Structure 1
């Protein structure tokens, strides 16, 4: 039985300025995710950590409706953030971004909120598949600035929607999966420092997902490492399930036993 699975690699670094890494991530055969905690003293690392913990719970299951289950993950994470704030009021305002990709039988289900990103490399095409929930993205959408100007805008780190105690809807999308597709998820510690063209070149030049993730983090640090940086790279790959082999072997063994008994009786 042929199934699709991620062939993945992941890397993270605190950067050269921050004292604490508030990013969290997950890389598994079915689910990739990056969460970038927001809030600093307001416990952004807690928000990203509990969110990825909920994502991990989904990764251990095989949901019939990944889109719906990703929505439930968002709400469960929101509940845990709300509970953490109630337990420690000083953490009021803690929040996180979330970008997650579930690989199903023939599609990739995406959940996204905030300014962590997902990119797709397919053949000659390289595209950003998520849209930043950020002030500068709003300016770009309004035509007030160009994408190039957004890269160096003083308010490029201002997010307009995050996962927090207060409700804010996430974005959901489903894209067809194709063997050979490469996806890259990252926190803004990469995308704010390394140009998309450079990111594309790395994803094309490094065949191994782990090597690609390591190189992208290295480039972010080389660019000054002003923020935590996390990169997850996943290739849509063919996986031949071996779940049925135990049953096949058991059936063969049973046939051999019956045959042996029959032959034994025949020669008696």
Structure 2
């Protein structure tokens, strides 16, 4: 059976920040979240460059080309950020996270590209799993056994990112998976995952079948937790081909 992807996205600046440095794309073949950093104007620009580089991938792509086209899009984004810094040296240090999921035209495979501390989660058979690994200082401490995952969630340096798209040559993590009907994906910036527990995320993903209502519920949970950062959420379902086609893709740039 041919599988399809259906998605919805919501982004909010939160309750503290004066603007929104996140950018997002949610379409029938591609999901992507980028969280800019490096000062307000530069962070906005970096995340926008990343989404503009990757959004053309929202087309039917052969299974054996998924990782290659993601790698090329990351190369284009990196070059764009580097050029923006060269145009204005005050942008030095700007960058963005990027977490992207690309669905094959047959529905037989998907590929993930990830760098930074935005996240991808998979809800399958009622169990929520974090699929991406944070490129952060505290995750490094967890990996080395210095602190526990619970301690990491409240560590004062949990927002320190160790890798991002900043115009330098970097190697994001790439992986492939076989999708199943009933899978529900969550891609989000750390404005959600830093303030809402995983079990609460899972409960919302299970409770709200409507994609947009689910995404809005997750944003509302982050706002109720104080909304200290920009919040961007993409929720997507893997469905059979008989389900009605998705509306136009959602692309929101800071």
User: Which residues of structure 1 form unaligned runs of 5+?
Assistant: 243-268
CA distance in 2, matches of 1:166, 1:31: 25
Structure 1 residues 161, 223: CA separation in 2 closer, same or farther (over 3 Å shift)? same
Matched, 1:123 2:125: yes
Shift of 1:241: 10
Q: Which has the higher helix share?
A: 1
Whether the 8 Å CA contact 1:42–1:90 is kept in 2: the answer is no
Query: Quick one: structure 1 residues 207 and 81, their matched pair in 2 at CA, closer, same or farther if it must change by over 3 Å?
Result: same
- Give CA deviations for 1:118-144 in whole Å, capped at 9, x if unaligned: 000001321000000000000111111
| Matched position secondary structure for 1:47 | helix
2:66–2:110 contact (8 Å) kept in structure 1: no
Q: Is this contact kept in 2: 1:121–1:182, CA < 8 A? A: yes
2:22 is aligned with 1:20: no
The CA deviation at 1:4 is 2.3
Q: Give me the TM-score of the superposition, normalised by structure 2.
A: 0.91
Change (3 A) 1:206 1:42: same
Matched position secondary structure for 2:176: strand
Mapped contact 1:66–1:102 kept (Cα < 8 A): yes
1:91 paired to 2:94 = no
Q: Which runs of 4+ in 1 moved over 3 A?
A: none
Given that 2:79 and 2:167 are in contact with CA atoms closer than 8 Å, whether structure 1 keeps it comes out as yes
Distance across 2 between alignment mates of 1:95 and 1:3: 37
**Partner SS state of residue 233, structure 2:** strand
What is aligned with 2:147? 145
- Secondary structure of 1:55 counterpart: helix
Q: Quick one: distance in 1 between partners of 2:240 and 2:40?
A: 44
- Whether contact under 8 Å (2:29, 2:60) holds in the other structure is no
- What's the CA shift string for 1:211-235, capped at 9, x where partnerless? 1100000010111010000000000
Find the counterpart in structure 1 of residue 48 from structure 2: 49
SS of alignment partner, residue 2 of structure 2: strand
Residue number in structure 2 paired with 1:211: 213
How far residue 107 of structure 1 moved from its aligned partner, in angstroms, is 1.3
Q: Which one of the candidate residues 194, 198, 203 is aligned to 1:196?
A: 198
Give the structure 2 partner of residue 263 of structure 1: none
Shift of 1:41: 4.1
Whole-Å separation in 2 of the counterparts to 1:121 and 1:241: 20
Question: Residues 41, 9 of structure 1: CA spacing in aligned structure 2 closer, same or farther, 3 A cutoff?
Answer: closer
How many residue pairs were aligned?
Answer: 241
Greater Rg by CA: 1
User: SS in structure 1 opposite 2:5?
Assistant: strand
Q: Which residue of 2 aligns with 1:11?
A: 10
| TM-score, normalised with respect to structure 1 | 0.87
Q: Which runs of 5+ in 2 are unaligned?
A: 245-254
